[in-house]
Amino acid sequence: MILKKVCSLPQISKYSIATSALLLWAVAFCLDLNAQAPTDTTRRKDQFHDQVDFNDVKAALLGKETKPDTSSFSKLRKLLIPSMSVNPTSGFEVGLTLAALKVFGEPDSTSLSTGSLKISAATKGLAYIQYKHNIYFPENQWSLQGNWQVGRTQVLDYGIGTGRSSANGSDHYVNGQLVDDSYKLKYTSFRFRETAYKKIFDNFYGGLGLTSNIYTGIDEDSQGNIYSYHYRYNTDNEIPTQRYLANSFSFNLQYDTRDHPNQPYEGIYADMGVKSYKKAIGSTENSTQLTSEFRKYIGLSTSTPQHVLAFWYWGSYLLSGRLPYLELPGTTTDNDERTGRAYTVGRFKGYSFFYSEAEYRFPILDNKFISGVAFANVQSASNGAVKDRIKLFQHWEPGAGVGLRILYNKYTRSNICVDYGIGNYGAKGLFVSLNEAF
């Protein structure tokens, strides 16, 4: 079944979307209006002497003693972390991450800056180099938040929208077995995302950003395959099928009272932005998106702050124009690429996309070396089609799971995360990463 022409807007008012996102952001601001900016003093209230991390265990095995870290992160701190993981998208993956932390100002008025460089390769044809950072300058007057990446990716593509196990709208059986209506999609991407934020007043920032994404070498195994969703979508929208660019400017408003960037015990993070893709700056298409994110962390114990109830919302809504296929928002397209545990990269996508998650975090051992999490999430996406239209919020795709946390460095609240998630249509996977999902 060939996809029909798609509309530039899903069947949901762009004004209602904008109003809802604005109200959500306003609620985030009002809920924590009197909160204080995260400081090093707040961070160091932890009782480190009662905690055991990976370095303590390593020292004990080698018969050495560990000295307490009394520094205030004024010196550059580096962590070299090898990693191995198994997940549905990449298969067996090995990598090496170099993480760095530093305070570029007075610890009582400047947030901790973080950065990481990761090199990774996997058995399912994935290989990439990624550099991410959140840099805060003295008194948080300015900050830079960026994500740069180059890599080769191979995924199974299931088309656009949520609510159906096959993107064509009906299940297909061969000899009594359900056959996935999916296509293998390969591509090389060069991604650059950088946003500069200026402090307006305590915890409140305004930002200007630039994004430049290049997708090339697309679908090499099925060039000219008129049945693939990527080929049909792009040809219907008169977009090139082998190579295209998605370049945009963005304006963002951000509110942040988290007590720590790696593993918050309390606080709020909220960000709302308008992203404008323009042919004038090299983008293949013109379009406008509304992006929004909200995170809330509720501490459940004053004596054991690691008991936390965390909530996360992330959404992207097309207001006008059209996007190339690989630029459509969907599973794992958030900045940290952590949405949708249980599903593969890009499993669900749409003209507009909504995601929400709740997670309970708790220590398992008294020394906090091993902790646990339980999480549940839902996502919804529209397909924008004229026929067989799927509206945003019409269908929901749930996921849930549990995980373990190994305290890698107690002074930086760095965790090694191991999660197992399950979802619809037999989706399941083991996910290993550094630091919390959100």
Lowest mean pLDDT among 259-263, 291-295, 430-434: 430-434
Residue range(s) defining the domain that contains residue 143: 14-434
The whole-number pLDDT of residue 431 equals 86
On whether residue 24 sits in a domain, the answer given is yes
Comparing 69 with 158, which gets the higher pLDDT?
158
Q: Is the pLDDT of residue 383 over 50?
A: yes
* Model confidence, pTM: 0.83
What span, in angstroms and rounded, lies between the C-alpha atoms of 209 and 144?
A: 10
* pLDDT class of 228 with cuts at 50, 70, 90: confident
On whether residue 398 sits in a domain, the answer given is yes
On whether residue 299 sits in a domain, the answer given is yes
Q: Is the pLDDT of residue 17 over 90?
A: no
Q: Is the pLDDT of residue 39 over 90?
A: no
The whole-number pLDDT of residue 15 equals 45
Q: Is the pLDDT of residue 12 over 80?
A: no
On whether residue 314 sits in a domain, the answer given is yes
What is the average pLDDT across 302-321? 95
Q: Is the pLDDT of residue 253 over 60?
A: yes
3-state secondary structure the chain: CCCCCECCCCCCCHHHHHHHHHHHHHHHHHHCCCCCCCCHHHHCCCCHHHCCCHHHHHHHHCCCCCCCCCCCCCCCEEEEEEEEEEECCCEEEEEEEEEEEECCCCCCCCCCEEEEEEEEEECCCCEEEEEEEEEECHHHCEEEEEEEEEEEEEEEECCCCCCCCCCCCCCEEECCEEECCCEEEEEEEEEEEEEEEEEEECCEEEEEEEEEEEEECCCHHHCCCCCCHHHHHHHHCCCCCCCEEEEEEEEEEEEECCCCCCCCCCEEEEEEEEEEECHHHCCCCCEEEEEEEEEEEEECCCCCCCCEEEEEEEEEEEEEECCCHHHCCECCCCCCCCCCCCCCCCCCECCCEEEEEEEEEEECCCCCCEEEEEEEEEEEECCCECCCCCCCCCCCEEEEEEEEEEEEECCCCEEEEEEEEEEHHHCEEEEEEECCCC
On whether residue 3 sits in a domain, the answer given is no
At 77-127, the pLDDT tens digits run 787 877 777 766 777 888 888 888 888 988 888 888 989 999 999 888 789
The whole-number pLDDT of residue 345 equals 87
On whether residue 1 sits in a domain, the answer given is no
How many structural domains compose the chain?
1
Q: What is the CATH number of the domain that holds 63?
A: 2.40.160.50
The whole-number pLDDT of residue 247 equals 97
On whether residue 5 sits in a domain, the answer given is no
